[in-house]
Structure 1
Amino acid sequence: MMRKHTRLIGWVAAVLVIVGFSQLGMWQLHRMHEKQALLDQQVPARAQTLGLADAQAAPPQLRWVEDHGRFLPGTVLLDNQTRGGRAGIKLYQPFRSDSGAVVLVDLGWLPMPPDRQLPTVVPREGEAHVAGLLAPPPATGLALGPALVPASQPAVWLANRMPPADVAAALGLPPASLRSAVLRLDPALPGGYARDLELLPNTLPPSRHLGYAVQWFGLALTVLVVALVLEWRSRRRTPSAYMRKSRP
């Protein structure tokens, strides 16, 4: 009786582990398809240029935007952004188009020194023509602590993530005026800092997600094989033990 109880507990544990590993594999596959779909949108996005307001009103996907407007005061420095293997920050400044649409503009990347002394930034001012890719913001780490904290420089905020409502409140913008998508400024335009239109900085490419998915499914299969082998050995031992007990 005890042996059957132990086998049942073992199988329940094995099934839970297999399901858990399989769920992690499925999540990795989902992330792979999600990121590949984003990459597949980049070329078609350049084929049609929209104004900022029209791009924000369209279904959410990559859009190439060209518009005229004015940069607004306030700068957000997004922490933990790497470029060429170096740690740094990305600079964002709000921009309002002539039609009234507001977006955070990615002005580029700056290295973070070892002492983490934030560099002095010079905000953009006045009217400007912008062009770039309206895209999701870069990936961030774990959501620990406040999203934004004031920096030593006035009207500058250091962020570890950029929830639109929190950013709007910090920059003194009306609630719900910001969307989650940011404008990745065309590197060919003058001004700003080091930048590109890479869609998956600071995060894994689709191929890596596929590799991790294969690993998780492989672990699930390994647990299943081990459980079946143990079950087979247990069944082989049980009849032998019974025959020894039944001998006179």
Structure 2
Amino acid sequence: MQFKVRRMHVHLHPVWFLITLTAFAILIKLSWWQLDRAAEKTGQLQQQSEWQAQGPVNWTQLQRIDLSQADLLQFADHGQWLAPMVWLVDNKIVDGKVGYDVVVPVQFSRFDAPLLVNLGWIEGAGSRAELPEFEIPEHLAIEGVLRTTFGNIRLGQNLEDHGQWPMRIQQIELDDLAAYLPQPAFPAVIYQQGASPFVTHYQAVVMPPEKHRGYALQWFLLAIAVVGVALAASIRKEGSDE
């Protein structure tokens, strides 16, 4: 591909042109993706702020709320741990230390569906063959944030069932845990933010929107740089050797 700009001839080899175009498209796509993430985080922060302004709801109130609108609401109530069920979510890092998030089913009335509660983090034992030892009160004051979206793409087996509690899991998946519960769990998870025998560390929004916008700008500038370098390498002055 050739074209002339004033006294400059620009010659782009077809292969390098395709490589440049592909790189430019990928970088622009990454920039837009970061902008989408920034918009998503802005929406989450706004929704969380609105729920915080309304104050926490209890179990009875929660059952009357449309769950499609309930993500990030504040929850507070007293419930009973369905002992001895405990799931340890693997590979959680807090302050540079590897451990587990402790998830238990809690029931707020005898015949209602259990609600899964992430009580917080505990450091792992010295060996993968060992699980940490801990105690959980039978009655719990639950005070935290509710999430209706959780879990990520997972490869391999999720749950390790060795016939005893606690059991190690890779992430919370309600279908995997349903077989151990007296009835299907409520389709949400509470992340404890009040008093807990474990380290509460959950943040609904880890990376703020401003950081995503910064990354978007970086990807955009890289896209411009790729085009600029390609053009600079292809320019020949009039009278120069082709």
Flag whether TM exceeds 0.5 (same fold).
yes
- Alignment partner of 1:44 out of 39, 43, 50: 50
Q: Which residue of 2 aligns with 1:159?
A: 169
Report if aligned partners of 2:77, 2:141 keep a CA contact under 8 Å in 1.
yes
Aligned residue for 2:13, secondary structure, equals helix
Equivalent residue letter for 1:120 = E
Separation (CA, whole Å) in 2 of partners of 1:186 and 1:41: 18
1:108 and 2:120 aligned: yes
Partner of 1:211: 214
- The answer to whether residue 96 in structure 2 is matched with residue 93 in structure 1 is no
Tell whether the 8 Å contact from 1:151 to 1:158 is kept in structure 2 after alignment.
no
Q: Aligned pair in 2 of structure 1 residues 138, 119: CA closer, same or farther (>3 Å)?
A: farther
Residue 211 of structure 1: CA displacement? 3.2
Runs of 4+ aligned structure 1 residues displaced above 6 Å come to 137-140
Contact 1:65 1:134 in 2 (8 A): yes
Which structure has more helix as a fraction of its residues? 1
Q: Residue 112 of structure 2: SS of its match in structure 1?
A: coil
Q: Which residue of 1 aligns with 2:86?
A: 75
Report the counterpart of residue 182 of structure 1 in structure 2.
189
Q: CA, structure 1 residues 53+217, in 2 after alignment: closer, same or farther (shift >3 Å)?
A: farther
List per-residue Cα deviations over 1:19-70 (Å, max 9, x = no partner).
1111112222222332233233333323233233643642142111233443
Mapped to 2, the partners of 1:53 and 1:39 lie a distance apart of 25
Q: How many residues align?
A: 227
Match of residue 13 from structure 1: 19
Counterpart AA for 1:192? P
Q: Which amino acid aligns with 2:132?
A: P
* Matching residue of 2:158: 147
Q: How much has 1:17 moved relative to structure 2?
A: 1.0
Gaps of 5+ in 1: 243-248
Q: Secondary structure of 1:13's partner? A: helix
> In structure 1, what is the Cα distance between the partners aligned to 2:21 and 2:112?
55
Using a 3 Å threshold, how does the CA distance of structure 1 residues 151 and 136 change in structure 2: closer, same or farther? farther
Corresponding residue number in structure 2 for 1:246: none
Is the Cα–Cα contact under 8 Å of residues 133 and 197 in structure 1 kept in the other structure? Answer: no
Identity %: 28
Q: How does 1:221-240 map to 2 (within 5 A)?
A: 221-233=224-236, 236=237
TM-fit CA distance, 1:183 = 0.9
Q: 1:75 to 1:100 in 2, by over 3 A?
A: same
Q: CA deviation at 1:172?
A: 3.4
Aligned mates of 1:134, 1:13 — CA distance in 2: 46
Could you list the per-position Cα deviations for residues 96-140 of structure 1 after superposition, in whole angstroms to 9, with x for gaps in the alignment?
232724321111211124433320233443x55533221367776
Q: Over the residues paired in the alignment, what is the CA RMSD in angstroms? A: 3.2
Distance 1:60 1:67 in 2: 16
Gaps of 5+ in 2: 2-9
Q: Secondary structure of the equivalent of 1:115?
A: coil
Query: In 2, distance between residues paired with 1:18 and 1:41?
Result: 35
- Pairing 1:134–2:139 present: no
Partner in structure 2 of residue 120 of structure 1: 133
d(CA) in 1 for partners of 2:192, 2:159: 22
